[in-house]
Chain A
Amino acid sequence: GAGVSQSPRYKVTKRGQDVALRCDPISGHVSLYWYRQALGQGPEFLTYFNYEAQQDKSGLPNDRFSAERPEGSISTLTIQRTEQRDSAMYRCASSPRGGLGTEAFFGQGTRLTVV
């Protein structure tokens, strides 16, 4: 597609429910990132994919968070048993070569609210 597309744009869920956030990167981009951004803060790294391989998941806060990119294109970030502290803007980004002299392009984000 023309840009990075994320869905849903907004998600309200009850505490304890699982949620799945979707990211469709720019066509042909090798690298895909998930970031979380709290109000008034910069994006915080969660995880990185190179094609379908999850090469860095050091930013995932705990084992309730997982991500996949099975065919090297669309990615899903799943949060199990959501808690109120998970409420944030979740941003996906893609880049042609991932930090190697290229910029990352961001999607509009999914605003997650856990009530």
Chain B
Amino acid sequence: EDKVVQSPLSLVVHEGDTVTLNCSYEVTNFRSLLWYKQEKKAPTFLFMLTSSGIEKKSGRLSSILDKKELSSILNITATQTGDSAIYLCAVTYSGTYKYIFGTGTRLKVLA
């Protein structure tokens, strides 16, 4: 069965800390892994990682795909209160157009 597992389920840190969120997956014919940030409104897209693009960076956020370990990490450095959100990981695979989501990691950054 297709599965995407995120850890930890929740995390509380202080401003300035660095956090690492994990996503592991079990799918056949993996195609891509996506990270989203979900605040009170719609989930917003952060990164997409594929075999041809296993590392992405944008400002304080970066993500790496480990195809051997079937996992990805999302790093946030120098966290700010505005980073507080649920971070969702999703995977796509050949033979389907759907995105399979994990349960998310709830991050709270304290001032």
Contacts and interface: CB of A to CB of B under 8 A. Distances in A.
B42 A55 contact: no
Nearest to A42: B101
B58 interface: no
B41 A108 contact: yes
Secondary structure call for the A interface: loop
B98 A33 contact: yes
B97 A55 contact: yes
Contacts of A43: 43, 88, 99, 101
Contacts of B34: 103-104
Contacts of A91: 42-43
A42 B7 CA distance: 13
Chain A interface extent, by class: 20 to 34
A48 B98 contact: yes
Interface in A11-67: 31, 33, 35, 40-45, 48, 50, 55-56, 59
Nearest to B45: A103
B32 A106 contact: no
A2 interface: no
Contacts of A45: 98-101
Given A4-B42, A43-B88, A104 B96 contact: no
Interface of B: 4, 6, 31-32, 34, 36, 41-45, 48, 50, 88, 90, 92, 96-104
16 contacts: A3-B42, A4-B42, A33-B99, A42-B6, A42-B88, A42-B102, A43-B101, A48-B97, A48-B98, A50-B97, A55-B97, A91-B43, A99-B31, A100-B31, A105-B42, A106-B43
Interface of A: 3-4, 31, 33, 35, 40-45, 48, 50, 55-56, 59, 91, 93, 98-109
